[in-house]
């Protein structure tokens, strides 16, 4: 199983929309044309259907830009959203610098902005900052004003209901952009079990959940564990994540990383039902740092293949890989 590249032993203890008919018919027509042109080819060429990847990073584990561009093309991604790191600082919220660069050498706002501007057809960018710095809101807002489409990746050691985070939730609502949070027990964004209070307090903020603790909690029987971050085996529906997705219109899920893939593959019967039930709330992202972009070496490519295999039908598959992102990000 592929692990999230950033997973590690914790070091701190602090505290609807529908797919449009046009989109669907368009995708079907493209598919039909591809089949007609290619006969019964079952090659490994990237699909011609558009795919939006809402979760990638620049400079990820030192991956060179040209390799990254090729990686995304090989996966068949037509639009990628770059999630910047916050600035590098030595604070409790970055575990004294350990978590700088999103704990994976990822680059920040200015680099993501420049790269997206250099590749405007295929790349978009977000704005981010360490949330408890004095000018965090100002710095994030600067990049939202420049056209940033998300606040992310929020991966810091802070309480999910801290004053600082609440200011950022308000900023997200004001600019009509989602905020994507990396939930990792005892490490990043503390307090997943009480997060419903924020979902209720900020109904106009679109929250996208990601990472180990978000995905472990699809299972009602999950007990959060800071070491066993990738639980396996059968899933009992009704975990916290399942309930948040069902009960709150402003809660969404990002399928990216080893944690998202594990959540689908650990119990495929459950996954089929889960994808069906949350077909308007789950969004494809890759968040992989490999150099290849193809199965079997690339977890992002594996997640695409897994979604295609487990989605109950073509319409749902297209929602997960494309239409939900298009709607939520208004792109």
Q: Is there binding between residue 4 and Zn ion (CB under 5 A)?
A: no
Q: Is there binding between residue 53 and Zn ion (CB under 5 A)?
A: no
Considering only 41-49, 168-176, 221-229, 292-300, which stretch makes contact with Zn ion by CB under 5 A? 292-300
Distance CA 291, CA 287 (A): 12
Considering only 197-205, 270-278, 294-302, 311-319, which stretch makes contact with Zn ion by CB under 5 A? 294-302
Site string for Zn ion, 144-163 (x = CB under 5 A): ---------x----------
Q: Is there binding between residue 180 and Zn ion (CB under 5 A)?
A: no
The residues, any chain, with a CB within 8 Å of residue 88's CB and separated by 6 or more, are 94, 97, 100, 101
Token pair 């030595």 in the structure block, residue: 90
Contact of 205 with 170, CB cutoff 8 Å: yes
Min. distance of Cβ 87 from Zn ion in angstroms? 17
93, 58, 147, 208: CA torsion to nearest 10: -60
Min. distance of Cβ 304 from Zn ion in angstroms? 10
Considering only 86-94, 234-242, 295-303, 309-317, which stretch makes contact with Zn ion by CB under 5 A? 295-303
In terms of CB distance, is 280 or 287 closer to Zn ion? 287
Task: Establish whether the linkage from the previous residue to 296 is cis, with ω within 30° of 0.
Answer: yes
Contact with Zn ion (CB under 5 A): which of 160, 288, 316, 321? 288
Distance CA 20, CA 156 (A): 37
Q: Is there binding between residue 254 and Zn ion (CB under 5 A)?
A: no
Min. distance of Cβ 143 from Zn ion in angstroms? 17
Task: Establish whether the linkage from the previous residue to 211 is cis, with ω within 30° of 0.
Answer: no
* Residues 6 to 45 in contact with Zn ion, rule: CB under 5 A: none
In terms of CB distance, is 74 or 243 closer to Zn ion? 74
Q: Is there binding between residue 181 and Zn ion (CB under 5 A)?
A: no
Contact with Zn ion (CB under 5 A): which of 53, 224, 280, 287? 287
The backbone region for 257, taken as left when phi is positive above 0, alpha when psi lies in -120 to 50, beta otherwise, is left
Distance CA 142, CA 274 (A): 37
Q: Which of 328, 301, 316 is nearest to 75 (CA)?
A: 301
In terms of CB distance, is 217 or 289 closer to Zn ion? 289
Nearest-5° Cα angle at 171, 168 to 172: 90
In terms of CB distance, is 58 or 316 closer to Zn ion? 58
What does DSSP say about strands 123-125 and 79-82: parallel, antiparallel, or unpaired? parallel
The footprint of Zn ion (CB under 5 A) covers 153, 287-288, 290, 298, 300
């Amino acid at each position: 199983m592929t692990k999230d590249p950033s997973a590690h032993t914790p070091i701190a203890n602090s505290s609807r929309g529908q797919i449009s008919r046009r989109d669907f018919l368009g995708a079907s027509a493209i598919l039909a044309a591809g089949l007609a042109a290619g006969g019964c080819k079952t090659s490994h060429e990237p699909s011609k259907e558009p795919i939006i990847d809402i979760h990638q990073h620049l400079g990820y584990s030192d991956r060179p830009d040209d390799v990254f561009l090729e990686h995304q093309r090989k996966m068949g991604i037509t639009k990628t959203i770059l999630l910047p790191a916050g600035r590098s600082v030595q604070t409790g919220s970055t575990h004294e610098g350990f978590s700088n660069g999103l704990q994976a050498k990822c680059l920040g706002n200015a680099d993501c902005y420049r790269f997206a501007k250099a590749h405007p057809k295929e790349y978009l960018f977000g704005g981010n900052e360490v949330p408890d710095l004095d000018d965090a809101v100002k710095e994030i807002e600067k990049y939202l004003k420049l056209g940033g489409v998300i606040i992310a990746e929020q991966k810091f050691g802070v309480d999910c209901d801290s004053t600082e985070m609440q200011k950022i939730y308000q900023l997200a609502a004001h600019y009509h952009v989602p905020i994507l949070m990396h939930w990792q027990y005892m490490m990043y964004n503390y307090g997943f079990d009480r997060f419903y209070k924020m979902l209720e307090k900020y109904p106009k903020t679109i929250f996208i959940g990601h990472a180990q603790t978000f995905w472990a909690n699809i299972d009602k029987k999950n007990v959060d564990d800071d070491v066993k971050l990738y639980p396996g085996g059968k899933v009992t529906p009704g975990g916290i994540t399942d309930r948040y997705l069902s009960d709150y219109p402003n809660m969404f899920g990002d399928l990216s990383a080893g944690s998202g893939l594990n959540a689908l593959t650990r119990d495929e019967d459950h996954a089929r039902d889960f994808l069906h039930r949350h077909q308007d709330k789950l969004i494809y992202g890759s968040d992989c740092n490999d150099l290849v972009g193809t199965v079997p070496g690339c977890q992002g490519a594996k997640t695409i293949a897994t979604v295609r295999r487990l989605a109950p039908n073509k319409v749902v598959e297209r929602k997960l890989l494309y239409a939900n992102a298009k709607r939520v990000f208004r792109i």
